[in-house]
Chains A and B, each alone.
Chain A
Amino acid sequence: MLWLTGGGLVICFLMIVMLLLYVLWQGLTTFWPQPIAQVETIDGRTLLGEAFASDSYDLKFSHLAGQSGVVREELEDLLHPAFQTVVQEVVDSGSLSDRLEMNRPMILRAVATQVKLAPAVQQSRPEKRTAIVSEIEDALNARWDEFVDRLSEEVSSNVGDVSGDSLATAWNAASTAAESALGQLDATEFQRQFSEGDSVLYSVWARDAWTSLAMPVGVPMRRREFRTENYELTNEHFNWVSDFEIKPDGETFPEWATLLERIEGGRFYGFPAELRIDGKATETEPAAIWAAFPELHAECRERWLEGKEIDEIDGGAFNRRRERERLELIEVGHKFGKDSTEYREAQAALQDFERANAAEYQEIRSRIEELHQLNSRYAILMRTVDGQEQEVPLAEIVRAVPANHIDSGEKWSIYLSRWREFLFDNPREANSEGGVYPAIFGTVVMTLLMSIAVVPFGVLAALYLREYAKGGIVVSSVRIAINNLAGVPSIVFGVFGVGFFCYMVGGTIDEVFYAAKTADAGPTYGTGGLFWASLTLALLTLPVVIVATEEALSAVPRSMREGSLACGATKWQTIRRIVLPRALPGIMTGTILAMARGAGEVAPLMLVGAVKLAPHLVVDLHDWSGSFGPVPTGALHPERSFMHLGFHIFDLGFQSQNSEAAKPMVYTTTLLLIGLIAVMNIAAIWLRAQLRKKFQFSQF
């Protein structure tokens, strides 16, 4: 019994540990800079890229289909020795006839199919076709033993040939003979040949018998996925290359092979050809290009970031002012009608506003233009491995990595800089590159808001149930309902959230407070957003908090309550001063559990507010106009959709265009999500330990 239970525990523990280690390993190694390989294949292609994943498989005769030329030859060269070994083994063990007998139904079926497809049969009249085929099938069956003898003789005599090629030749010969035979005959001749067991029959048969022997043949082979990108030139992200396809010494690591990570357009693998300033080449040697690159690039990036900031902050503020004016106009339109004098006055006012501020608008735009102009002077000309040239403006480059030319110190700095980008920057390339900062932010803010919502309600409910409610059917039903709430699938909560919170409550709020904005830009609170998502998840985690709080409350010893009451305290005073503080560690446990559960739920979020890409963060320090109905909420905008790490994982893994590239990001994001939940839990556990110390549960 001990072994059974202990063993079960150990297995569970191991599974968890292995999963975590796996995620840890995959996640941590994603950003390490890999060397860039140049691969020349036997069919004349040259690829430049990072080896991404590798796969072992067995090379089989079926892989020959669709191949031609050099590749086919190479494949045949690999397969035939294996074939010979298999056949040798069959012959040595004397089991050729047994083996063929085993495959007999398959062989006969295959031959029958061939026959049906043969031109001679296809060309004859339909009513004759069936007759031909069945006649031939009968002939095959009758001649089976004869065939096996003949084939065995041939195989045994060929196997002894040391040169080894003859088996392959025999097989090829059988194939060719069969094909030509099937093609040349007319219907009558065809029938006659088959009925009398002529060489045609034999060729067709032998080919299929050889094939059945060849089926188990497998040569272990490795293939690797090379990330070659340059999507705008090649229309593909990856290339699979098997080891046999690579020329001997065809895999090299050119010194100046470079990876460019770009803002738009994905990765670029190539060689630096020229550094261009104002359209003229200033450097043409790779070493010199790299010497000059860092400084110029840093300047361009700074200007680009500055431009973005101006656009977001100043431009954003300007746009918001303009929006307010426009919304006021729409409101006036609603109140007084579009034909009223008030509306015309408001229109005129808006036009005045726009004229007055045109100058400011122009100024903002021209500042941004200026920066872009400066940046457009600098570009780098890259040459791909097959000679195509592409000019890349420096401002578009996020990071340039001459992967084969960097030492380990530089590798570490690139690794850490990629992590920094991952944690603090916005995503690029439909979330498959760049950072997940908005998702981290959204997850944390949503979890906090959810905890703030769930803890007071949960504690109050538990207090009522435990302290004030008289036992009875009502209380029992409420308890049953709470426990069942814990078992409801989370997507149902999502649907409830959408229906009740978004459409009903949100719709009403929109009608009353945001009529103009809704008419103009669509629902504000009437659709998914941070606030409704937090409330939905608070509902989901409510049972957890209630149950944990009830447990904590009932653990407060009766003697303490009696002591307080004997001093003349009211019930509420006793609860507030003695019971609740003493129960606080237990309440915190409930909160921790609720937070951990809520932070990881994705299904309901998909319906009530998490999105693939959110244009703004939910807490926006540049825009303090957030509000919930009549209540101003400052920098917090509870109506905005947000990004969430769990949803991000789903999106990356299953909704990306470039799903292979997104795969490592999935691991990294998973690692991050686990890490984030662990940090939140540890913080809460620490807080609980501090509280516990206050209440040394020591007895005399």
Chain B
Amino acid sequence: MISNIESGQPARGASSGDEQPNRLEMITRGEHVDAVIHPELADRSSVLDIDNVCLWYGDKQALFDINMIIPDGNVTALIGPSGCGKSTLLRCVNRMNDLIDSVRLGGDMRLNGDSIFSPNVDVIALRKRMGMVFQKPNPFPMSIFENVVYPLRIDGERDRNVLEEVCERALRGAALWDEVKDRLHESGLGLSGGQQQRLCIARAIASDPEVLLLDEPCSALDPIATGKIEDLIDELRGDYSILIVTHNMQQASRVSDYTAFMYLGHLIEYGPTVSLFTNPKLKETEDYVMGRFG
């Protein structure tokens, strides 16, 4: 359910003599806060429906009633200060939080209509429909070829032709083909950091995922490699739906179509990137994107 579609409400500026309470202080006090979602999201087709999602680590709640949709075929960024729950939310999508014993989930997510949190869901099959790229590049200690076709192999694919074709497609898609096409059978660990991350992206798109999850993919890379990854994300837009977590606002503004601002486990504001950055509806958002905190 999407709540609180506010339209036409002006941004709260320091000059506008406000009576509305500071949302961030309310959150810190433990009060419930409604998210502000821009109207442009109302009629977009969604690849991912996030429906009242809550998450607890033991007794401590980390996500509070997150309600949003991730649009199909676009790049959506999650931004916010450290500890706001954006990575946690991302990891919920492919149930990676299951690896932590004390995690409890509430609400539901739906991938193209199929429930994600339901107890009788086949998590393995679910994960095969998504691709994830992590903060630190984690190529496997195998050859480049084997790295890319890993998702197919674990699915049982043995046909050499199919594997080679997929490998080429994925590496081209990840803008890595030209650099490695002559050394597909060398170890993946021998690549540079940026190349390793592109290899991981190739691996993620090899199985033609419905959604691509990127968890701060550039934070461990140098600026040039970062630029290349950002270009890549740009190219991938349209073919894939991408959900990217980033702590770098400039990156979010460069790369994404839609941005969601989160704080301490709550969704604060969510809208088209251009609007959010140039004309945020909430003062808190404006403070954050201007760099006044976080």
Contacts and interface: CB of A to CB of B under 8 A. Distances in A.
Interface of A: 557, 559-560, 562-570, 573, 577-578, 581-582, 694-696, 698, 700
A573 B155 CA distance: 10
Contacts of B130: 566
B150 interface: yes
A562 to B, nearest CB: 7
Interface in B213-240: 213, 220
B132 interface: yes
B193 A570 contact: no
Contacts of A700: 137, 192-193, 196, 220
B138 to A, nearest CB: 4
B154 interface: yes
B134 A695 contact: no
B140 A564 contact: yes
B124 interface: yes
Contacts of B151: 567-568
B94 interface: yes
Given A564-B140, A570-B124, 9 more contacts: A563-B139, A567-B151, A568-B127, A694-B187, A696-B141, A696-B187, A698-B190, A700-B192, A700-B196
Contact of B150 (A567, A570, A582, A695): A567
A565 B204 CA distance: 12
B136 interface: yes
Contact of B141 (A559, A565, A570, A581): A581
Interface string B27-44: 000000000000000000
Given A696-B187, A698-B190, A567 B141 contact: no
Interface in B113-143: 124-128, 130-132, 134, 136-141
A363 to B, nearest CB: 60
Interface of B: 94, 96, 99, 124-128, 130-132, 134, 136-141, 150-151, 153-155, 187, 189-190, 192-193, 196, 200, 203-204, 207, 213, 220
A89 B227 CA distance: 99
Given A695-B189, A698-B190, A567 B99 contact: no
27 contacts: A557-B138, A559-B134, A559-B136, A559-B138, A562-B99, A563-B132, A563-B134, A563-B139, A563-B140, A564-B150, A565-B127, A566-B130, A566-B131, A567-B127, A567-B150, A567-B204, A567-B207, A569-B124, A573-B154, A577-B150, A577-B154, A695-B189, A696-B189, A696-B190, A698-B189, A700-B137, A700-B220
Contacts of A557: 138
B136 A567 contact: no
Nearest to B197: A700
Q: What 5 pairs between A and B have smallest CB-CB spacing?
A: A568-B128, A700-B193, A566-B132, A568-B127, A563-B138
A695 B187 CA distance: 8
B154 A563 contact: no
A560 B138 contact: yes
A352 to B, nearest CB: 60
A568 B134 contact: no
B200 A563 contact: yes
A625 to B, nearest CB: 42
A578 B154 CA distance: 12
Contacts of A573: 154
